[in-house]
Structure 1
Amino acid sequence: MSQSSNLIGRIFERIKAPVDGWLFLFTILIFIVSLVVLYSASNQNLDKVLNKMAFMAIALGVMWAIANIKPEQLMQLALPGYLIGVLLLVGVALFGEVVNGSRRWLDIGVTRIQPSEILKIMVPMVLAWFFQKNESSLRWYHFVIGALIIAVPVAFVLKQPDLGTASLIAAAGFYVIFLAGLPWRVLLIGLLGFGATLPVIWNMMHDYQRQRVLTLLDPTQDPLGAGYHIIQSMIAIGSGGPLGKGWLAGTQTHLEFIPERTTDFIFAVYAEEFGLLGNGILLVLYLLVIGRGLMIAAKSTNLFGRLMAGSLTLSFFTYAFVNMGMVSGILPVVGVPLPLVSYGGTAMVSILVGFGMLMSIQKHRPLIKR
């Protein structure tokens, strides 16, 4: 009996060893919230909830596996992973499947993959590797090379077209460049240059993308068409009030006024049923994840760890901010899911891969030489 107990104890310690307790706890709490709201949003579809739980188990397993990999080994995977990701994007451009007018998926026989999700991780990873490699001799042209590393996959993803994912990849890469020491004057010049090119960008945008911007400014101009999503989600959020209408009691949800209510607009379902109080709880959980990630970044003992942890954490913030912003009507609708809450396996796995990297950086921190 004693030997069995010791064996179980050793197995448990082996499983627990790479896991950051606080980050894991906050993740599980968000998952619990997601299962509760998904059950309501899917009209009490238990199969959908069980399917999400299966994806959660897979994603947590992937997180644990990544957490066991040392940051030095992750750095070795950075350049090959980035090149493979770009090649897959080329494959999508040439042979990808068209779904709802967008060419984003690549059929590899066993399943379909969305290579742009891979680049959300590989772009910041290869940039962190690049700046780590040149840490002692950073010059202005290193930042130019970094910008080109970002621009290549972003251009392919924009061509699909997928403005939301392209923006997230660009943001993840920008965070690395900024944290690597991008001078403020260069950032200011870049922002001014971006502002000056807005008319050109506007002319390059697809018609539906321009329509989303116009709809943001005035959703009532087409209340049954382009403005329908935003109007219905804002009604749902506002009608929730301080305490919400109660679980399974959201009228906008169950009368099926809210579109995409299990994916992109699941926050509207949550806000209607749990109100301002529920929103506050979810925001606190997100802030705790972000705070823990930034703490790991601050304590990292080398540049790769600091840049990677900082970028992953700020990217997680960007996902949450963009989704809540578009559902609330303060940002255009760009098809970004609410992290860890929206239904869908690919985005969940990519986020927990990032969390696994954060745990790896934290776990192996004393073993990394400066």
Structure 2
Amino acid sequence: MEITVVGGGYVGLVTSVCFADMGHRVRIIEIDPQKVELINKGIPPIYEDNLEEILKKNIGKNLTAQSDYQFIEKSDVFFICVGTPPQEDGSANLRYLSQAAESIGQALRDSTIFQVITVKSTVPPGTTESVVIPAVIKSSGRTKDSIGFCMNPEFLREGRAIKDFKNPDRIVIGGNSDIAIQVVRDVYSGFSAPTITTSLKAAEMIKYASNSFLAMKISFANEIGNLCKKLGINVYDVMNGIGYDHRINPYFLNAGLGFGGSCFPKDVMALIRLAEKNDLDPLLLQSVIAVNEKQPNKIISLLKERIGSVSGKRIAILGLAFKDNTDDVRDSRAIPVIQSLLDEGADVVAYDPMAIASMKIYYPDIQYRNTAGDALDGADACLVLTEWPEFRDIDTCFDRMKSRVIIEGRKILSIEGVEGICW
């Protein structure tokens, strides 16, 4: 099929290369000309495991990128994958979505074939009906029955997105007609995962509810972990024990610093604001955020219990990305930790295998090192904030510290004498 993907960011690029690898002919529209140039050279502008390999395999063959909306009028399906960043109050900013819908409509003015506009961006329930459909119809001048509309949420984990795309738990397609849904079904032909077809609003809510539930599991594990810490219980033993219950399962029960990234904080807050706009008081969702915001303070408190004032102390930070196997630092729990240390006069030295360049945007003036050992050199204490597998093998490097005070925000180290935020 002929597919146009609007947005060459994380979701858009992963979606594009995977569809192209399936044999579809894919065109990416990305307004940033530098990203377009990189993509067309086979260089992904983001890090994601296996992404570069698949991009190079398909670019220039059945995959291209451009910065305008030319030559897309014959596409069978459009996937809108633009960002919906949070506004100041936490609600979703739909400006980019509206602009994309209007631009697609203008490009389809002279088209005479049935085409399907599919939203893959995470949007509040009702957005496709209230924003996308009116924008496309108005700017295209076409009738509603000549264009189909669907919502096809993504469930990709950063660092494992290619694997998740090719091996989905389920495929969710919400649509305004059976014909539109069938077109999107055909795009995914060959997948063995169950396909759930719903209304547009239900598909939009499935995405929000999924992310909010996973965030809730993390905050639940952290709240239990904080209590276990006080009682001298290993929270990982507890979570392992409850995770065997098939009604719960073991995923997203790793207690620690909390959740970050581009999805969970943003989506939970957007759902909170949506509930409040509908005169509801979402107590559980509010608590999920409250627990998450407090967790970074606990590692700072533990640190001060061990070394006293951090003013003038050299604190090594291992791990800057919000999780392992990505260079993404958006809403990383390392950010509030570093900020607290700087506010109290600490000398921060940091290392991350992938995310140093990304964190320099936030903190250009702290010291960065190329190895964990160099970051640990002469440190008064070390905080481990990301569960990078390579940290598991660190041993003698900790001997380079001035004092061997090591506190984990993520349970990854395999050495003795380490304290954890929740264990």
Whose relative contact order is higher, 1 or 2, with alpha carbons under 8 Å and at least 6 apart?
1
Structure that is richer in helix per residue? 1
Larger Rg: 2
Structure that is richer in strand per residue? 2
